[in-house]
Structure formats: structure tokens, C-alpha cells
Amino acid sequence: MPTSRLLWWGGLAAAAAGAVLSVIGWYGVSGERFAERQIPYLASCTVPGAALLVAGAVLLAAAGRMAGTGGREEAVASAAAVPSPDVPPFEPPSSDGPVVCVPGGTLAHRPDCPLVAGKPEAEPVGDRVLDPCPVCEPQV
């Protein structure tokens, strides 16, 4: 059974049970004059009924979301677990130019690092002691 169908029927069952419990709780509370005698109906029917209504709404929303994607979320999750042999591993930028930083920055970058590439305010580090960028990993 597809997951979206299971979520849909589970959401409908939870919402229906929540509605029934809420009505029973309301009916029980309305028949009691004293607050002390109303508390058991609130604790045993009304509060759990409201919780089931919320849970049913969440399940129905999840089922609608999965139905809107055509179940692709399950396929994407299973495909993400297996690495593709076509995709090369990430390699940091490898330029050999002078190490640069942005004014006021705390990291040293290679000139072709995506964090500083194209920024006109990037300047050579000089004699400042900065931490290496975790993206481009320059030799500082």
C-alpha cells in the first residue's frame, strides 16, 4: 500500500475519532452543573479528541503533500542514500595565487574561492594571521 494512501486513511480515521471524542466530551460537560464533575469529561474525551483532530490534520496534510509530488519524495530519499558514480567528489578550488581576505574578515581564501570570487574588496592577506577557509582550504 503506498505511503500517501496509508497517511490519508490514517488521517481520516484520527480526525473522525477526534471529532467523535470531542462531541462526547462536550455532551458530557454540558450535562454537569459543577466544574468538579466536568473535569473527567475534559480529561478523557475533549483533550484527547482535540489531539486526535490535530494529528489527523497533520496526517492529511502529509498525504496531500506526498500525493502532490507523486510519491517522488520516497524515490528521492532512496536515491540519495546511494552515491552516483557519475558525480565526481567535491574538490576545493585549486588556484595558486596569493591568499586573500575581505576587509574585517577572519578567514584566508584562495583567489578563486566561491566565497570571495568576484568581490572587488578582496585584498591580499599580507602578514595577518587568519584561519584557513573550510571551503577552499588555502595553505596559510
Task: Using the 3D structure, point to which of 45, 62, 81 is the last residue of a domain.
Answer: 81
What pLDDT sits at residue 66? Answer: 81
If asked whether residues 75 and 13 sit together in one domain, one would say yes
Q: How many residues belong to the chain?
A: 140
How many structural domains are present in the chain? Answer: 2
If asked whether residues 75 and 96 sit together in one domain, one would say no
If asked whether residues 10 and 60 sit together in one domain, one would say yes
Query: How confident is the prediction for the chain on average, in pLDDT?
Result: 81
Question: Cα–chain-centroid distance for residue 103?
Answer: 34
- In the chain, which ranges are E strands? 100-101, 107-108, 123-124, 131-132
> 81, 126, 132, 70: which is closest to 103 by C-alpha?
126
Is this prediction's pTM over 0.85? no
Which residue in this structure is represented by grid cell 577557509? Answer: 133
pLDDT confidence band for 16 (50 / 70 / 90): very high
> 113, 22, 9, 3: which is closest to 66 by C-alpha?
3
- Using one digit for the tens of pLDDT, what is the confidence trace for 38-68? 888 888 888 889 999 999 999 999 888 887 7
If asked whether residues 13 and 72 sit together in one domain, one would say yes
- Domain holding 17, by residue range, is 3-81
If asked whether residues 71 and 95 sit together in one domain, one would say no
Q: Which residues are 124's β-sheet partners?
A: 100
If asked whether residues 22 and 63 sit together in one domain, one would say yes
